[in-house]
Structure 1
Amino acid sequence: MLKVKAGDLDKMGLLFERYHKPLFGFLYHTTGQVAQSEDLVQTVFYRMLKYRHTFSGEGEFRTWMFHLARNVVNDAAKKNNRVVYEADITPRSERTISTPAADVQLETKQESEVLHQALAKLSPDHREVLILSRFQELSYQEIAEILKTSEGNIKVKVHRAMKELKGIFLKETH
């Protein structure tokens, strides 16, 4: 990113190749919408170019990128008056021939769908810290920098979010 900041805009393609999948994952888990997430990825990379002068190089690039992504989601929410998590999960049809491997795959898929439904029921703040910590595997320190709060506060938020998610998940599966 420092090379992009210095004017070597060709390096933006390398950044896109390296980071568009994790960025899409964050945005998809935040919005639950494939098409909207793809659009938001493009917006984030546009803003990276537009605001490249704000990247100081002192912190990690990923932290700066996810901070921009978070702002893009918040701006989209303001523009649409809200961000509603709506998962693009299409239920798989029942299979006519059942094998042990197929049963395990179906059960795993169903649990994944229930997990996404439970994630959708979390508050936006709880969903955001879980996506950053569990799906994007960012450290608590990195998340604290993105959210502009303390690491201790993030630990508490993640703990509470996991507890809430577990309660919703268990209620959905029983």
Structure 2
Amino acid sequence: MLNPSIHPDVSVEPEIGWMARVREGDMEAFRLLVEMHQARVIGTISKMLGSEAEAEDLAQQVFIRVWKSAPRYRPTAKFTTWLFRITRNLVFNELRRKRHFADQSDELAEPIERAEREPDRVLLEGELQRAIQEAINQLPESQRMAIILRRYEEMPYEEIAKVMGTSVAAVKSILFRARAELRERLEKYLT
């Protein structure tokens, strides 16, 4: 039985209990954590890096880091906050590494569902999706991370602040600047 003073939110947040079990080397608890969060981690990384394959590789590194860090994990914040902080750090490290090699490709095209749509509309939607992804990819790293966490992960400002290691006011400012930049870059699509 878990000590409620050490793990106060186990009933609300099962990840805390699972992390206690992972700390003891429980592979089943680790598998549950991975299954529960893998898609969100891959999605976030993919939006930051623009590559599903790279996202899957980096997500593996995130979960390896979770496993290795389990003995030091303390449930002072939501598990997802801790998980996305690890994700953010590894993504930023990867982006820095890529900059050193300067061999990035802009493979931004996302598949579009084409079921029973007019060809012109499909083309316009595809162009808009590519333009949005390209505009997000061109944002500075902190703005890109804040937009992805807010828009795609639907995190509240407080949790984004914890993930990014900054204040709520700073997150709001970062998001304001990011949205202004996106509006400017996508102006021709907004009229």
Q: In which range does the TM-score fall when normalised by the shorter chain?
A: 0.7 to 0.9
* Aligned counterpart, 2:147: 130
Counterpart residue identity of residue 32, structure 2: L
Q: Distance in 2 between matches of 1:45 and 1:23?
A: 9
Q: Which is further off, 79-88 or 53-62?
A: 79-88
Q: Distance in 2 between matches of 1:91 and 1:16?
A: 25
- Structure 1 position 113, deviation (Å): 1.2
Counterpart residue identity of residue 47, structure 1: R
Q: Distance in 2 between matches of 1:169 and 1:83?
A: 29
- Structure 1 position 131, deviation (Å): 0.7
Q: Distance in 2 between matches of 1:104 and 1:83?
A: 38
Asked if the contact 1:33–1:87 (Cα under 8 Å) also holds between the matched residues in 2, the reply is no
102 and 55 in structure 1: CA distance in 2 versus 1, 3 angstrom threshold: farther
Structure 1 runs of 4+ with >6 Å offset: none
Counterpart residue identity of residue 29, structure 2: K
User: Which residue of 70, 75, 98 corresponds with 1:57?
Assistant: 75
- Structure 1 position 90, deviation (Å): 3.8
Tell me the SS of whatever aligns to 1:57: coil
Q: Distance in 2 between matches of 1:24 and 1:34?
A: 7
- Structure 1 position 10, deviation (Å): 1.4
Tell me the SS of whatever aligns to 2:148: helix
Sequence identity percentage: 28
Give ranges in structure 2 of 5+ residues lacking alignment: 1-18
Counterpart residue identity of residue 161, structure 1: A
TM-score w.r.t. the length of structure 1 is 0.84
Tell me the SS of whatever aligns to 2:186: helix
Give ranges in structure 1 of 5+ residues lacking alignment: none
Aligned length: 169
* Aligned counterpart, 1:10: 28
Q: Equivalences for 1:1-174 in 2 at 5 Å?
A: 1-82=19-100, 86-90=105-109, 101-171=118-188
Tell me the SS of whatever aligns to 2:81: helix
Tell me the SS of whatever aligns to 1:137: coil
Q: Distance in 1 between matches of 2:23 and 2:79?
A: 12
Asked if the contact 1:77–1:83 (Cα under 8 Å) also holds between the matched residues in 2, the reply is no
Q: Distance in 2 between matches of 1:122 and 1:53?
A: 36
Q: CA RMSD in A?
A: 2.6
Q: Distance in 1 between matches of 2:23 and 2:39?
A: 22
